[in-house]
Chain A
Amino acid sequence: MAEMTASGETPEILFWVGCAGSFDDRAKKITRAITRILNHVGMKFAILGSEEGCTGEPAKRSGNEFLYQMQAMQNIMVMNGYGIQKIVTGCPHCFNTLKNEYPALGGNYEVIHHTQLVQQLIDAGKLKVDGGEFNGKKIVFHDPCYLGRGNNVYEAPREVIKSLDADLAEMKRSRVKGFCCGAGGAQMFKEAEHGDREVNVARTEEALEHNPDVIAVGCPFCNTMITDGVKHFNKEGQTKVLDVAELVADANKL
């Protein structure tokens, strides 16, 4: 972003990469898939790079409102400084916080999740998609809580998967009844409380009932949890866990 501003350019959209997308090796692949799509359609986008900081989301979910507001105000100062209008995120948690929670602290942006952007690009005819290797493959989609129930976005990721001519299957608990992967509410960063089993194992078991070729997700944290779940059942050979952006980018060799 700093370079673009220095050369007098304005991006169409800011790609908010997020901490997982920046640092987690698995999530970096999702980040690159998103940029492959953006580059393919020729959308002029910027990233904040080292000026991007954690949105404060995990701190806020854990009750550390001080830390959250510190992070938020810092990020808002940076983004308002650049005059940012529109943001796409690679993570439903960043998406929810930027979209719904930053306005109270003076950060007002049009924020969309990457699955929504991909769907818009397909609908506008800017992105032609082909099923490629996923043509006819069985795919189940796991709703991220902060995309689905949190913000009522259920159809965009499904529409994208359908455009791949894949066999989209629904778990018993999907859409409004979607079952958490176990990471949200900052559980990603701590051990679970004492219980009978792990949430991600319960959720993955439900997805595997369909014997899917792919469990599609739209969140880097769901990705980690479900991937661990698939390993728990020793199904890595049969079932891949892929982000919706990866499905699109891989199928079309972008």
Chain B
Amino acid sequence: MLASIIFLILLGGAVAFFTRNAKRIRRNIMIGRDITINDNKAERWRTMMKVALGQGKMVSRPVSGIMHILVYVGFILINIEVLEMLVDGIFGSHRAFSFMGVFYNFLIGFFEILALLTFVAVVVFWLRRNVIKLARFTKPELKGFPTIDANAILITEMVLMTALMLMNGADQTLQARGNAHYHTAGSFPISQFVAPLMSNWSDGALVFTERFTWWLHIVGILAFLNYLPYSKHLHIVLAFPNTWYSNLKPKGQFTTPDTVTDVVAPNFDPAYQLKYDPNAPMRFGAKDVMDLTWKNLMDAYSCTECGRCTSACPQNLTGKKLSPRKIMMDTRDRMEEVGKNMDANNGEFKDDGKSLLGDYITSEEVWACNTCNACVQECPVNIDPLAIIVEMRRYLVMEQSAAPAELTGMFTNIENNSAPWQFSPSERASWVNQ
């Protein structure tokens, strides 16, 4: 009874705290400019099913891809057992779903195998980061919290899976001894190898172990849930909406801001109807997170810092400062900072003299980009770092006139000669006679 009350308090608290943070994340994403994305719904659902649910892009790198699918399937399916734990926790029952009989035994056995595979995959992930030190896990933007964050997630997963095995080991030993509360249920293909280690433990020690690991597992999961909003691990939630809102157009196609069309079109078409009030203040491109769209910001929260983008970026691979992953991490960190600023000022942002471009992302990074779309192609959850880079170039050029000198020269040539080089337009067809 007391255990049930404690459990309900913990569960309620965890759900309430998570809801509060989910609202905060949503509010922060809404700092971005409003755009409407609701066309082609069938295609959007298909994309989400394929890319997020089906992990379609993960396997383009087979080792990490297959390992990730193991952890992902383990996570989703073991949650069915967590459902049982919730029921047991609330009603004080033991293995409430065991009435399913043979099917239940099959499920528990299957979960044990998944848990072992998950454990192995997580250990491999940990080794790749900490022992093998893959290049994409040792880039400068991962120094400090991002590395701690990644390892904390992996170690938590190892602890959760270990708890599950110890719990089942103690449980089956108690079942075998005919303990009244521990009726026979489940099959234990993996933890049967744990059980012999406990064979000479007292009933009290076994019950304590079973209860302790049960609580560790369920409290661990609730704690993990509440860690998500502070971590790159939030991708397990946001991968789904983020892929639904994917850019479905050809990757080569950049946006055509109608704010600019409003300025240019009247020169060509006197009948052009302005879309915006010409006297309203207007910003071209993006200097800060509020100039980006909410989709750009959702991208930033969806990033799990895997670095596949950066490890495909031609500029990063040739030693330049640009890293698409850093663009996303900076965008998220600045968005969090703006969000905290708003919380401290009754929901209004008070100018803090900082901005995403300048204080987080340098123009050197912005100008290095080849716009080759390798980063966009690589991202397993369809994040678009290029869209943010282009918006910053637009700000630098159209608001600041701060393009590199050679590019300013190229602009002048296009204006004067209608070609990026200094050739006369009248010479355009001279190749015909050469």
CA A102 – CA B170 in complex, angstroms? Answer: 68
CA A196 – CA B316 in complex, angstroms? Answer: 10
Residues of A within 8 A of B390 (CB): 61, 63
CA A28 – CA B430 in complex, angstroms? Answer: 10
Contact: A23 with B428, CB < 8 Å?
yes
Listed stretches A118-126, A159-167, A178-186, A208-216; interface member? A178-186
Contact: A185 with B372, CB < 8 Å?
yes
In the assembled complex, B411 has its CB within 8 A of some CB on chain A: yes
Shortest beta-carbon distance, B57 to chain A, in Å? Answer: 10
**Known A146-B252, A180-B372: A62·B393 in contact at CB below 8 Å:** yes
In the assembled complex, A127 has its CB within 8 A of some CB on chain B: no
**Known A73-B264, A180-B314, A192-B368: A49·B429 in contact at CB below 8 Å:** yes
In the assembled complex, B130 has its CB within 8 A of some CB on chain A: no
Contact: A65 with B260, CB < 8 Å?
yes
Contact: A193 with B368, CB < 8 Å?
yes
Residues of B contacting A: mostly: helix
Contact: A56 with B414, CB < 8 Å?
yes
Residues of A within 8 A of B227 (CB): none
Shortest beta-carbon distance, B385 to chain A, in Å? Answer: 13
Chain B 319-352 interface residues, beta-carbon cutoff 8 Å to A: 319-322
Set B318, B403, B410: member contacting A195, Cβ < 8 A: B318
In the assembled complex, B369 has its CB within 8 A of some CB on chain A: yes
In the assembled complex, B114 has its CB within 8 A of some CB on chain A: no
CA A185 – CA B324 in complex, angstroms? Answer: 15
In the assembled complex, B254 has its CB within 8 A of some CB on chain A: yes
Contact: B403 with A62, CB < 8 Å?
yes
Contact with A along B412-434 (1 / 0, CB 8 A): 00110011110101111111101
Interface size class of A (residues with CB under 8 A): 35 or more
Contact: B419 with A22, CB < 8 Å?
yes
CA A62 – CA B254 in complex, angstroms? Answer: 12
CA A131 – CA B383 in complex, angstroms? Answer: 43
Contact: B397 with A62, CB < 8 Å?
yes
In the assembled complex, B45 has its CB within 8 A of some CB on chain A: no
Contact: A151 with B420, CB < 8 Å?
no
Contact with A along B360-381 (1 / 0, CB 8 A): 0000100111111110110000
Residues of B within 8 A of A116 (CB): none
Contact: B404 with A182, CB < 8 Å?
no
In the assembled complex, B188 has its CB within 8 A of some CB on chain A: no
Contact with B along A16-49 (1 / 0, CB 8 A): 0101011110001001100000000000000101
In the assembled complex, B317 has its CB within 8 A of some CB on chain A: yes
Listed stretches A133-141, A197-205, A230-238, A240-248; interface member? A197-205
Contact: A194 with B320, CB < 8 Å?
yes
Smallest CB gap from B409: residue in A: A189
Residues of B within 8 A of A176 (CB): 60, 377
Contact: B406 with A191, CB < 8 Å?
yes
Contact: A64 with B403, CB < 8 Å?
yes
Can you show 30 pairs from A to B with CB atoms below 8 A apart? A22-B431, A23-B421, A24-B421, A54-B414, A58-B414, A59-B411, A61-B254, A61-B371, A63-B403, A65-B398, A66-B263, A67-B414, A71-B418, A73-B264, A74-B418, A99-B250, A100-B250, A101-B254, A105-B256, A145-B372, A145-B373, A145-B374, A149-B376, A151-B250, A177-B374, A178-B374, A185-B371, A190-B367, A190-B410, A199-B370
Closest 8 CB pairs of A and B: A150-B252, A196-B319, A63-B393, A185-B371, A53-B418, A195-B319, A100-B253, A180-B372
